Amino acid sequence: MIGSGRDVRNIGGVMAIQLNPLYAPNNRQLYDVEMGYERVHQDARRRFRRAGKMDFGDLNSRRVEKFRLFTAKEAAKIRKRMDEGINPVADRSETLALLKKVFMPPLDARLIAFFNSEYVPHAMSYDKIMPNEPFTHSDCWHCDGGPTNHLVMMIYLSGSRKKTANTLFTTGRMTDYLKVAGYVFCHMEQRLADVSPIVNRFQLGQFEEIAFEIKAGEAIVFQSVNILHKRALPTQGPRYTITLALLPSPMPWLKACEKTGKPLRLGMRPTFENIPESELP
């Protein structure tokens, strides 16, 4: 039975790992309840006034969707600045100007449909990944720890093929199966680049690997807590991306950014922090 055992040792010849069906409920308890993110989302939903603008799509049904945000020329301009050693997120006016181009229809309509509220870019980073980048935990199948209702947006400033310089996904159904089996949110050092031994052990069916053909200026937005994914390193040339973590907000994103220090720079502090009691509804 799925989830009936805690320890899975040398399945299909892989290293011994620990499966725990409580990993997923514990993630929800930590972020949604103890750190206060669910209360903030409830407050955001109460204050929401743009329900008529919502547009549902693959972001809700498949948990991942692709959008065109920038032209190839605009993407090349940002890449050039990165090559010159400039981190645009360090310049607040430049960051907000870029985000005004990002949060346009149809993306805006999809985001409010997912959150059923306004949203805010909580954290942001610019990354240049080289082909010889060391293998990390991001290159194994995982879901991100964090609030249940948050999104990750990866804006690709360079194109990618389906299997390289990309982000790979499986289905929402397989993700849910592997949560029940106790793999998802396992310890980082026990993540697997190939989960087929677990899939086969619990007879979960066909593991589908999903990848998008991405052009420079396109973005992938996904429910990073609710869909298994992994990084695919480039084989030729660097991979340029902008990564954003999006959270529900009681006010429109621009107003929220102007009133707070968001989006914070990833790498300087934890992506998700305890919400002060004074800021809870």
pLDDT at 2 over 50: no
141, β-bridge pairs: 192
The full set of domain ranges for the chain reads: 7-271
Residue 236 — very low, low, confident or very high, per pLDDT cuts 50/70/90? confident
Give yes or no for a contact between 59 and 110, defined as CB atoms under 8 angstroms apart.
Answer: yes
Helix (H) or strand (E) holding 188: none
Fold for 7-271, please state it.
Jelly Rolls (2.60.120)
What is the C-alpha separation between 189 and 40, in angstroms, rounded? Answer: 32
Predicted pLDDT at 9: 39
Average pLDDT for 55-73: 97
Average pLDDT along the chain = 91
156-186: per-residue pLDDT in tens? 999 887 677 899 999 999 999 999 999 999 9
pLDDT at 14 over 50: no
Q: What's the pTM?
A: 0.92
Predicted pLDDT at 15: 54
89-139: per-residue pLDDT in tens? 778 888 999 999 999 999 999 999 999 999 999 999 999 988 888 889 999
Residue 7 — very low, low, confident or very high, per pLDDT cuts 50/70/90? very low
| More confident call, 1 vs 178 | 178
Give yes or no for a contact between 152 and 173, defined as CB atoms under 8 angstroms apart.
Answer: no
Predicted pLDDT at 8: 44
> 224-260 burial, b if ≥16 CB within 10 A, otherwise e?
bbbbbbbbbbbeeebbbbbebbbbbbbbbbeebbeee
